[in-house]
Amino acid sequence: MQKIKNLTKAAERIKKAVADKERIILYGDSDLDGVSSVLVAEQAIRSIGGSIETFYFPDREKEGYGITKLALETFKGLPPALLIAFDLGIGNVEEIQIAKEMGFDVIIVDHHIVPDVLPEADIIVDPKQPGDNYPFKEFAAVGLSYKLAHEILGKDISDSLKNSIVELALLGTISDMMPREEDNITIIQEGMDAIGESWRPGLQAFFEMSEFARIDGREARVEEIITVLNAREVTNGLPGAFRVLTAPTKEKAEEIINLLLEQMREKKEEVWDIVLLMRERVEGKASDSVILEGTDSHDFYRLGSAASILTKEYHKPVYLYKIAEKESLGSARAEKGFNTVEAMKSCANLLETYGGHPPASGFRIKNENIEKFKKCLEDYAKQN
């Protein structure tokens, strides 16, 4: 049976780490796909007798996307250890080199488009990498984590454990808007069957709260749950989605859910503030093929939603960035037919980091390069 490249190798390395009682660090993106990927891996590792030294989810607002130098600073004193990155890492060539020099073994489990130069991790699981002949490529990161968990656990996986991880795979797959095709169809169907009987207090709380109980149909309810779990609220380094899905009681989960609901209401207001500002900025720039605009007064996490609205309005790729002292952090959105990642790849010499999916991606850039980046994007758009 054909398998994703390096899947078995990664599973064997993790089992060795458990057997040898190595420190294991799970590092995930702070969105729901990253969080669910980490939780699937954690459950598989604990099920074979392992433990997790620490979890880490980078704060994009403060440190950027991916494996960050700030994160590696906090890991001093932990090596030798196994660092497993989910839903990020494929573009972190420099950071992974630093991690290796620190004494980490590194496994990357990522689903993003691979750059021209791969990082020198010990093991990379990404079906889009060269030499991977698995026929289906469009997994969410949690879909890969789910496959990895099955490889770790083997054929003896219990029905209860399988249901416990497939409900997480469902959440991340729908959240990241992966195509409902091939392997993803199985994940979604089995996840929908499992989630209504979830043992997780956080999911039980969602299904019992009046705001969600009155929504007709399980799939519609799950979609609304995902919307809430995608709220970017972080406390003590842990995203709201992580805290809900690991809540020890329904009461604690409901408390966190209400906090996320309040943040969603605030988010809608700020997103429209950004949209209105950008509409003013782009007036008179009808000849521009790409919208590239920045703000120093709005939350970075709102930029992606604002860019989605603007790209539908103007039918142009939209790159919005949050201006900091020396660098800016941005989100890009585009309609079908324009690949935001390939566009940034053509401008890679101007960017510190970039990555994502064709319609939705992110980047970090030194402020001194922003005008050059705009010209580069314009050149790419005109040629493509």
Residue 367 · residue 296 · CB < 8 Å: no
Q: Among residues 237, 269, 301, which one ends one of the domains?
A: 269
In a domain, 275, yes or no: no
Regarding whether 318 and 353 lie in a shared domain, the answer is yes
Helices (H), the chain: 7-19, 32-47, 60-63, 69-74, 93-102, 141-153, 159-175, 182-195, 201-208, 210-213, 218-229, 240-245, 250-282, 303-314, 340-345, 370-383
Q: Identify which of 139, 146, 148, 129 has the alpha carbon closest to the alpha carbon of residue 177.
A: 139
Regarding whether 349 and 249 lie in a shared domain, the answer is no
Domain residue limits at 223: 196-269
Regarding whether 304 and 244 lie in a shared domain, the answer is no
Q: Angle, nearest 10°, between helix axes 32-47 and 159-175?
A: 160
pLDDT at 46 over 90: yes
User: Into how many domains does the chain fold?
Assistant: 3
Write down the pLDDT at residue 42.
98
284: confidence class by pLDDT, cuts 50, 70, 90: confident
Write down the pLDDT at residue 79.
96
In a domain, 115, yes or no: yes
What is the average pLDDT across 272-279?
94
In a domain, 1, yes or no: no
What phi and psi, each to the nearest 5 degrees, are found at residue 289?
Answer: -85, -20
Regarding whether 86 and 13 lie in a shared domain, the answer is yes
Regarding whether 207 and 160 lie in a shared domain, the answer is no
Regarding whether 233 and 354 lie in a shared domain, the answer is no
Regarding whether 221 and 347 lie in a shared domain, the answer is no
What is the average pLDDT across 181-198?
96
In a domain, 2, yes or no: no
Write down the pLDDT at residue 198.
95
200: confidence class by pLDDT, cuts 50, 70, 90: very high
Regarding whether 212 and 166 lie in a shared domain, the answer is no
Regarding whether 259 and 170 lie in a shared domain, the answer is no
pLDDT at 62 over 80: no
Domain holding 344: CATH number? Answer: 3.10.310.30
49: Cα within 13 Å, side-chain hemisphere: 8
Dihedral of the CA atoms 63, 245, 85, 30 (nearest 10)? -20
In a domain, 239, yes or no: yes
In a domain, 278, yes or no: no
In a domain, 279, yes or no: no
What is d(CA 319, CA 210) in angstroms, rounded to the nearest whole number?
Answer: 38
Regarding whether 169 and 220 lie in a shared domain, the answer is no
Q: Which residues contact 277 (CB under 8 A, 6 or more apart)?
A: 295
What is the average pLDDT across 175-203?
94
Q: What percent of the chain has pLDDT over 90?
A: 77
What is d(CA 377, CA 325) in angstroms, rounded to the nearest whole number?
Answer: 23
Regarding whether 252 and 177 lie in a shared domain, the answer is no
245: confidence class by pLDDT, cuts 50, 70, 90: very high
Residue 221 · residue 212 · CB < 8 Å: yes
Regarding whether 263 and 235 lie in a shared domain, the answer is yes
Q: Among residues 269, 304, 334, which one ends one of the domains?
A: 269
Write down the pLDDT at residue 173.
96
What is d(CA 4, CA 260) in angstroms, rounded to the nearest whole number?
Answer: 36
What is the average pLDDT across 107-113?
95
pLDDT at 234 over 90: no
What is d(CA 157, CA 335) in angstroms, rounded to the nearest whole number?
Answer: 41
48: confidence class by pLDDT, cuts 50, 70, 90: very high
In a domain, 191, yes or no: no
Q: Among residues 126, 152, 184, which one ends one of the domains?
A: 184
pLDDT at 339 over 90: yes
Write down the pLDDT at residue 115.
86
How wide is the angle at C-alpha 28 spanned by C-alphas 134 and 75, nearest 5°?
125
185: confidence class by pLDDT, cuts 50, 70, 90: very high
pTM: 0.84
pLDDT at 177 over 90: no
